[in-house]
Chain A
Amino acid sequence: MNSKGGGTISITMGIVLCLLICTMIIFAYSFFIVKPAERVDYTVMQNTIYVNPNSGEAYITFTVQNTGTVDFVIKAIVLDKERIDLPVEGMLGTTIVKVGQRAALRVPLPHTYEPGTVVNLFLITDPPLLEAQKFIVAPTPVEVIG
């Protein structure tokens, strides 16, 4: 009669052993087989263009959070279709954004914008965004410095 008594190895120990082996396989896979993807991803926040109608002075402020897996450098900003390469004179803040961190920037603009309008902000980074994500565009309101 094929009637096992059980108790050769307890069920709980069997589970622990099985989960340990699985964990080891996963670690081995992540260390030796795959490399983290180099993917640029970010979120733009608190983006506003400030203009002074009297002096004609204008600047943009915004914060970038790096939500990707690599550090990146902001090479340029694009406002509607106008490209402004960074760094420019009078710029405040850093263009290097580390993984998971935020960077705040204030960039003086070459000409003024109409208050009350919205301008589309787009960043050009190094390394660049993937093809699929080309459309991280931040609508930026234009306000008067009060």
Chain B
Amino acid sequence: MVEEILRVEGISKSFGAIKALSDVSLILHKGELLAIIGDNGAGKSTLLKIIAGVYSPDSGKIFLEKKEVKFKSPMDARKAGIEMVFQDFMLCPDLNVTQNVFLGREIVSGEFLNYKLMKKILKEKLKDLKFDIPSIEKKVRFLSGGQQQMVAILRTLMFDPKVLLLDEPTANLSAGASEQVMNFVKQLIKTKMIGGIYVAHDLNAIIRYSDRILVMRSGRIIAEKMPEETNPVELVRLMRL
């Protein structure tokens, strides 16, 4: 059996009178891409944001590699090895690729930024990942949507993450770019033995790329399906039941 990398136990979260999550538990294994589906308001985004340290849960525990972790901020989660990719890329269009990739974790010598070293590390990483970016000194605003999302993913990979959270990573991309991004992510998760959680609306893509599917409704996980034994019709029925 493959080792677990992330375990979530009994997470609940309310926003005022609205109960966003009630008693949610899940296990994520190394090298696994877990998909979470559900209608709008089912709680998938909230769950992802709790794991990423954006919100703190009202109750429940998170274990990373079997050790309990508590995140006060996204920075804590990033330090622990949990990285998130957003649908709107979350890049700074006016900074270049290198600056974006290292944003929040720049390499400094003394008080000054060491761009030389950052570029060197980035180039090695690109070679290692067989990653294709036109120029690492180009401002991100001059890149295409697919290239921008690749930069955002690249940013999460710079410091060898343990868990990758993907919040609708292809929602703003063309079909071709989506395929490129998802193939890359899938291959990466397998080769680096990272755990991945993937939230999306495109059920065909989910069946195609994920290893396991969790269905959420009204803040609870109500079903677990294997992609090879389900189809979009069944998934929609589960989501809307």
State yes or no: do A and B come from one complex: yes
Query: Is residue B106 contacting chain A, with contact meaning CB distance below 8 A?
Result: yes
Query: Is residue B204 contacting chain A, with contact meaning CB distance below 8 A?
Result: no
Q: How far is the CA of A3 from the CA of B79 in the complex (A)?
A: 11
Give chain A residues whose Cβ lies under 8 Å from the Cβ of B107: 1-3
Instruction: Find A6's partner among B75, B109, B114 (CB 8 Å cutoff).
Output: B75
Q: Are A3 and B108 in contact (CB under 8 A)?
A: yes
Q: How far is the CA of A4 from the CA of B107 in the complex (A)?
A: 8
Chain A: interface residue total (CB-CB under 8 A) = 7
Q: Are A3 and B105 in contact (CB under 8 A)?
A: yes
Give chain A residues whose Cβ lies under 8 Å from the Cβ of B75: 5-7
User: Would you list which residues of chain B between 73 and 110 have a CB under 8 Å from chain A?
Assistant: 73, 75, 79, 104-109
1/0 per position for A1-24, CB-CB distance to B under 8 A?
111111100000000000000000
Q: How far is the CA of A3 from the CA of B108 in the complex (A)?
A: 6
Which range holds the interface residue count of chain B? Answer: 10 to 19
Q: Are B108 and A2 in contact (CB under 8 A)?
A: yes
Q: How far is the CA of A7 from the CA of B74 in the complex (A)?
A: 12
- Name the residue on A nearest B78 (C-beta): A5
Q: Are B79 and A5 in contact (CB under 8 A)?
A: yes
Q: Chain A: interface secondary structure?
A: loop
Give chain A residues whose Cβ lies under 8 Å from the Cβ of B108: 2-4
Q: Chain B: interface secondary structure?
A: loop
Q: How far is the CA of A6 from the CA of B79 in the complex (A)?
A: 11
Give chain B residues whose Cβ lies under 8 Å from the Cβ of A3: 105-108
Give chain B residues whose Cβ lies under 8 Å from the Cβ of A5: 75, 79, 105
- Name the residue on A nearest B107 (C-beta): A3
User: Would you list which residues of chain B between 173 and 201 have a CB under 8 Å from chain A?
Assistant: none
Q: How far is the CA of A5 from the CA of B75 in the complex (A)?
A: 8
Q: How far is the CA of A6 from the CA of B108 in the complex (A)?
A: 12
Q: How far is the CA of A7 from the CA of B105 in the complex (A)?
A: 12
Give chain A residues whose Cβ lies under 8 Å from the Cβ of B106: 3
Q: Are B109 and A2 in contact (CB under 8 A)?
A: yes
- Name the residue on A nearest B79 (C-beta): A5
State the Cβ distance, A18 to closest chain B Cβ, in Å: 16
Q: How far is the CA of A1 from the CA of B79 in the complex (A)?
A: 14
Q: How far is the CA of A29 from the CA of B105 in the complex (A)?
A: 41
- Name the residue on B nearest A5 (C-beta): B79
Give chain A residues whose Cβ lies under 8 Å from the Cβ of B114: 2
- Name the residue on B nearest A1 (C-beta): B107
Q: How far is the CA of A75 from the CA of B106 in the complex (A)?
A: 72
Give chain A residues whose Cβ lies under 8 Å from the Cβ of B104: 6
Interface pairs A-B: 6 shortest CB-CB: A3-B105, A3-B107, A2-B108, A5-B79, A2-B107, A1-B107
Please list the residues of chain A having a beta carbon within 8 angstroms of any beta carbon in chain B.
1-7
Given known contacts A2-B108, A5-B75, what 12 new A-B pairs fall within 8 Å (CB)?
A: A2-B107, A2-B109, A2-B114, A3-B105, A3-B107, A3-B108, A4-B108, A5-B79, A5-B105, A6-B75, A7-B73, A7-B75
Please list the residues of chain B having a beta carbon within 8 angstroms of any beta carbon in chain A.
73, 75, 79, 104-109, 114
17 contacts between A and B (CB under 8 A): A1-B107, A2-B107, A2-B108, A2-B109, A2-B114, A3-B105, A3-B106, A3-B107, A3-B108, A4-B108, A5-B75, A5-B79, A5-B105, A6-B75, A6-B104, A7-B73, A7-B75
